[in-house]
């Protein structure tokens, strides 16, 4: 999309008051063990961050979903270029003096990654335009890393596709054609017979249909097998025998973000997410996660997911495989990040303990009998202990502060048959929420072919409301239930495009942050309620389309707007 993007302060203004840069304790400990000139790989987060709610509001004035994505991508790039300019100049001088190297800019989280000596880090920490400096270390982040069990290449449709009724959607003529899926994983075997004809054309610059963000080259060949298995569940055509893909007509782009044994850093995944967004992905499949990140790293991931939502791109994310390891990863920490980030739409039950939204549809795994996998991670999660957000408070046993319900839905993830890394016509079986997630991604591709203008909130709503109920209500094991591709596509077709919904409703809250009061304007608004982050009602204002909120103490609050078309949630900051 060719257009001039004007940066709007309300959309891009920071939500953090200026303060001395926070050095993450883990980095501080590492600095104490290094010499003054010995470099450490660090992530430098800018103080100025986008306001995703306002950014999405501006994007919603653009009619096309894909143009809204491109608008947000370009706006975030411009923000990073402007806000990082002075820091880049300083880093350039440090680089000449040998104190800094390998400087790389990230626009999705407005950050810079580099290798810096402790002396340089201490100098940078005196700046007022930085939010934090933390280690950019590589973690074991593939949620499933067990080797695949070989499977025969028999002429069949895989059982998982039959279980979710994907085959009945194909009979209607919907195969995901025209939809570009961005797979962010360990790479993929782009030579497999079942992927031929389904791969993104990256031209001369990206001849292998994607990018390697881990090693910074244009060859995303899988060395692990995890990403290849996921790729087959998205769009494996069955050319070698078994139809494994939910969307065999979709187009696949892949970014490799880990090494051969599954290690990758937050910045490498940020680079991968940037790549698929700026190269036109309609949705993202992310079967990767971290079970024990620092608050700084969680903040960075959620900022990314907030911005991806603003770009109107939905992301299917694996919940994790840590159910049996609750001694190490107990409740509220059992779901991996970014699966722990909130969904695009809040279920009615969640509105009793609300918070912000993001692009994430979190996915659990069931077996062939729709019984939850004994490995599938469970919620809830909490964000009240992450200062940049402070929502979804959790108190064990409370019916009011019960955290964020995770996952949202589940899909077949036990003995999933898909593509082999070692054999270009071979298959294998693997278990994990990693392989339930691309099934959801493939179903989303089917939905987007049926209705190309669906928003992330609408996609999430459809997936949840059409899922096969396995519990009376949404819960922290099954979510809303196991996805049903046929019911989801039929509902997508039934939507006429005129229904008001949470993501398209326009609510203007300004100024935000504010040193005084807030003006709230929303067509059809009947009531505005202000909640503290521990869930207590602070103010309740009955109104007709507009109101003013005054008299708040300094802090972060959740604004719940009741409009004729539904409930909207906004985070407001009094400084």
Computed over every residue of the chain, the mean pLDDT equals 91
Cβ 492 vs Cβ 509: under 8 Å: no
Cβ 323 vs Cβ 478: under 8 Å: no
- φ and ψ at 85, to 5 degrees? -55, -50
Cβ 224 vs Cβ 145: under 8 Å: yes
Looking at the predicted structure, is the pLDDT value of residue 2 above 80?
A: no
Of 173, 192, 175, 177, the closest CA to residue 232 belongs to: 192
Mean pLDDT over 2-28 rounds to: 57
Of 314, 386, 323, the closest CA to residue 556 belongs to: 386
What tens digit of pLDDT does each residue of 140-190 get?
998 766 778 888 878 899 999 999 999 999 999 999 999 999 999 999 999
- Domains of the chain and CATH, by start: 9-137 (no CATH), 140-494 (3.40.50.200), 507-574 (2.60.40.1930)
Cβ 410 vs Cβ 483: under 8 Å: yes
Cβ 30 vs Cβ 238: under 8 Å: no
Of 121, 120, 115, 489, the closest CA to residue 267 belongs to: 115
Looking at the predicted structure, is the pLDDT value of residue 5 above 50?
A: no
Please tell me the predicted confidence (pLDDT) of residue 20. 64
Please tell me the predicted confidence (pLDDT) of residue 363. 98
Flag the least confident range among 108-117, 244-253, 438-447, 489-498.
Answer: 489-498
Cβ 414 vs Cβ 375: under 8 Å: no
The fraction of the chain above a pLDDT of 70, given in percent, is 94
What is the DSSP pairing of strand 360-366 with strand 518-522?
unpaired
Mean pLDDT over 288-308 rounds to: 94
Pick the residue with more confidence: 531 or 228?
228
Cβ 491 vs Cβ 466: under 8 Å: yes
CA distance 63 to 1: 13
Please tell me the predicted confidence (pLDDT) of residue 563. 85
What sign results for the dihedral spanned by CA atoms 57, 465, 234, 225?
Answer: positive
Looking at the predicted structure, is the pLDDT value of residue 275 above 50?
A: yes
Please tell me the predicted confidence (pLDDT) of residue 534. 66
Please tell me the predicted confidence (pLDDT) of residue 461. 96
- φ and ψ at 508, to 5 degrees? -105, 115
Cβ 255 vs Cβ 272: under 8 Å: yes
Six-digit token pair at 471? 């519990």
What tens digit of pLDDT does each residue of 543-575 get?
998 999 999 998 778 888 888 767 777 778 787
Residue 564 has, within 13 A of its CA and on its CB side, a CA count of 7
Please tell me the predicted confidence (pLDDT) of residue 513. 75
Using the 8-state DSSP alphabet, how is residue 223 labeled?
Answer: S
Six-digit token pair at 559? 């604004």
Mean pLDDT over 118-141 rounds to: 94
Q: Is the peptide bond before 513 cis (omega within 30 degrees of 0)?
A: yes
Please tell me the predicted confidence (pLDDT) of residue 58. 86
CA distance 155 to 173: 21
- Its pTM stands at 0.87
CA distance 106 to 267: 8
Please tell me the predicted confidence (pLDDT) of residue 537. 87
Q: Is 425 left (phi over 0), alpha (psi -120 to 50) or beta?
A: alpha
What tens digit of pLDDT does each residue of 189-200 get?
999 999 999 999
Cβ atoms < 10 Å from Cβ of 104: 13
The DSSP annotation for 44-100 comes to: EEES----HHHHHHHHTTSS-HHHHHHHHHHHHHHHHHHHTHHHHHHHHHHHHTTSE
Helices and strands, number each (H, E), in the chain: 14, 26
Please tell me the predicted confidence (pLDDT) of residue 145. 62
Of 407, 339, 410, the closest CA to residue 370 belongs to: 410
What sign results for the dihedral spanned by CA atoms 472, 478, 480, 482?
Answer: negative
Of 476, 322, 317, the closest CA to residue 407 belongs to: 476
Six-digit token pair at 87? 């820091």
Of the pLDDT bands very low, low, confident and very high (cuts 50, 70, 90), residue 507 is confident
Cβ 530 vs Cβ 561: under 8 Å: no
Q: Find the largest Cα–Cα distance for the chain.
A: 69
What tens digit of pLDDT does each residue of 447-492 get?
999 999 999 999 999 999 999 999 999 999 999 999 999 999 999 9
Cβ 8 vs Cβ 102: under 8 Å: no
Please tell me the predicted confidence (pLDDT) of residue 1. 37
Looking at the predicted structure, is the pLDDT value of residue 378 above 50?
A: yes
Q: Is 290 left (phi over 0), alpha (psi -120 to 50) or beta?
A: beta
- φ and ψ at 270, to 5 degrees? -60, -45
Please tell me the predicted confidence (pLDDT) of residue 476. 98
Please tell me the predicted confidence (pLDDT) of residue 14. 44
């Amino acid at each position: 999309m060719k257009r001039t993007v004007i940066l709007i302060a309300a959309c891009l203004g920071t939500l953090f008051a200026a303060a001395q840069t926070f050095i993450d304790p883990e980095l501080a400990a590492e600095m104490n063990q290094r010499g003054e000139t010995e470099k450490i790989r660090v992530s430098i987060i800018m103080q100025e961050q986008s306001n995703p709610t306002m950014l999405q509001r501006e994007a919603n004035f653009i009619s096309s979903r894909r143009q809204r994505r491109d608008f947000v991508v370009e706006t975030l790039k411009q923000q990073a270029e402007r806000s990082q300019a002075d820091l880049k100049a300083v880093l350039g001088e440090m680089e000449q003096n040998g104190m800094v190297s390998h400087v790389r800019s990230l626009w999705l989280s407005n950050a810079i990654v580099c290798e810096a000596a402790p002396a340089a880090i201490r100098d940078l920490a005196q700046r007022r335009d930085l939010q934090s400096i933390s280690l950019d270390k590589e973690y074991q982040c593939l949620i499933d890393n067990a080797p695949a069990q070989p499977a025969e290449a028999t002429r069949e449709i895989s059982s998982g596709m039959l279980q979710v009724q994907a085959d009945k959607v194909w009979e209607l003529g919907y195969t995901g054609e025209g939809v570009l899926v961005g797979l962010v994983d360990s790479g993929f075997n782009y030579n497999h017979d079942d992927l031929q004809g389904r791969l993104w054309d990256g031209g001369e610059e990206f001849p292998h249909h994607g990018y390697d963000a881990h090693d910074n080259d244009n060859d995303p060949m899988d060395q692990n097998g995890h990403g290849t298995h996921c790729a087959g569940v998205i769009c494996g055509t069955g050319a070698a025998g078994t139809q494994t893909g939910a969307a065999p007509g979709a187009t696949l782009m892949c970014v490799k973000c880990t090494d051969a044994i599954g290690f990758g850093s937050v910045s490498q995944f940020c680079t991968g997410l940037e790549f698929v967004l700026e190269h036109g992905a309609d949705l993202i499949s992310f079967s990767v996660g971290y079970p024990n990140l620092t608050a700084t790293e969680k903040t960075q991931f959620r900022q990314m997911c907030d911005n991806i939502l603003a770009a109107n791109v939905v992301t299917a994310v694996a919940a994790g495989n840590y159910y049996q390891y609750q001694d190490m990863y107990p409740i509220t920490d059992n779901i991996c990040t970014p699966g722990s980030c909130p969904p695009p739409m809040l279920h009615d039950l969640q509105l009793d303990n609300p918070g912000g939204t993001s692009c994430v549809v979190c996915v659990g795994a069931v077996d062939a009998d729709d019984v939850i996998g004994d490995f599938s991670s469970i919620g809830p999660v909490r964000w009240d202990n992450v200062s940049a957000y402070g929502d979804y408070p959790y108190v064990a046993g409370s019916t009011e502060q019960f955290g964020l319900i995770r996952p949202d839905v589940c899909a077949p993830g036990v003995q999933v048959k898909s593509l082999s890394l070692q054999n270009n016509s071979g298959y294998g079986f693997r278990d994990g929420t990693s392989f339930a997630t691309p099934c959801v991604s493939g179903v989303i591709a089917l939905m987007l072919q049926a209705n190309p203008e669906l928003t992330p909130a609408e996609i999430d709503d459809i997936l949840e409301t059409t899922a096969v109920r396995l519990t009376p209500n949404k819960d922290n094991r099954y979510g809303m239930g196991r996805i049903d591709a046929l019911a989801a596509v039929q509902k997508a077709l039934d939507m006429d495009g005129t229904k008001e919904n949470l993501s398209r409703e326009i609510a203007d809250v300004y100024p935000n942050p504010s040193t005084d009061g807030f003006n709230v304007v929303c067509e059809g608004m009947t009531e505005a309620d202000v909640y503290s982050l521990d869930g207590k009602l602070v103010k309740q204002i009955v109104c007709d389309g507009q109101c003013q909120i005054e008299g708040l103490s300094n802090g972060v609050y959740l604004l719940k707007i009741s409009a004729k078309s539904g409930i909207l949630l906004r985070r407001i900051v009094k400084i």
